[in-house]
Structure 1
């Protein structure tokens, strides 16, 4: 007797350069971009994100040809921002956002993933600023994010989705709720990364059920609870935590993805669910078998 899984027909699954250990535009320890495109298609994915700007070709004609012949389409671009620093950083922020948004739009994508800046260095762990924002910084963060949402939509036709992330000021349940409550739902949606949210102690299903109308995009990821316990106990920064294997291959970690996907399907909207398994740095032969197995697992979940 075979078990039948109801198809989650509103959820479109993809993967990203991150799942191939790609964190930087150029790094000798990362797989070359052509290999990433070949392998992500061979693993059974149709949708990809752009990853760090400059890793994939930034000429839309070249990128369209390279993705098109592999049957791939782009779901989103990604930007890093420090908007809690207020209007003073707007021009610098917009300079990089506009470049990435233009490529994202040219590739037919509709979303721009916005990641807040880190309060401690991703590689060295050096503390760059206080991990807690002041009331004024919260006001700047929320107002400038709304401005970003408005400008990106008006100029490029894209929706921003803000990505709660470990070692940033928008991380676990308390800060995510504060951020959502202080921003306009018409301008700012969330990219819920199930791994980062669990890493920071959050419950993805509860977030989807509580703030469903704010969920605009998903990143599918799991954490290894044992590795995470050590990371938390020792105060290990995110970069070294990834090198320890804190993000693990599903279905071996938390949160369980089946209930997350079911909760997302119940929202009744079209959603991208992009697999991201942080593993920088990693041997070049490591990502592809994991990507294949993960795609098989997600099919077994109905997507």
Structure 2
């Protein structure tokens, strides 16, 4: 039996995604061309995310529709807020399966090249001043992505510490109040700043941040490596290794969808166990 391709949305994943999509009613008069099936368009979006291929080079023999059709559907669903809701639903499923650990969280940033200018790009000091963007990520204690943000390549990582904590959605899945704050947040020396330590405490979260000027071997790396592994999984999606999009909301859509797919894999693993 042939192994399914990673961009082929199986029935289980589609059952989660389909209820989140906006309903588009055909006009009774002048209905126009029949709308391309949502499931095929979604698989076309996954194909671009996984392979990094340009929209205009979408292989027609795969049946996903034209690249422009898939791009329009991506823009439509992004405007409707589909991807954050998908991520939130999967996080709730992980919490219900006891696979989410809020005892601590880890944050980090990763620079990527941007070959086109646009919002949330900037000259990167770590890439010879070339235009780039940064992915900022917060994960739970096991490396499950809780939230991600996008900034220009010239932004300091510490500026996204508080936005990342605020970006964690209220995670349901269990009886009682939803959970949206970790007990502890771990970060490297780039986040060592008194102002941001105080702001983290104000949110009811304990900051464990390596101090500048101290020797290596604080022990935080033994717990903080999970966010670096999460970046490796996230950038396994070729479309996220380089930013090709001028529109920042489209790249953020791919970023959030990548986080959701990682959650989907972890949820499947939790169910199997």
TM-score, length-scaled by structure 2: 0.29
TM-score, normalised via structure 1 length: 0.27
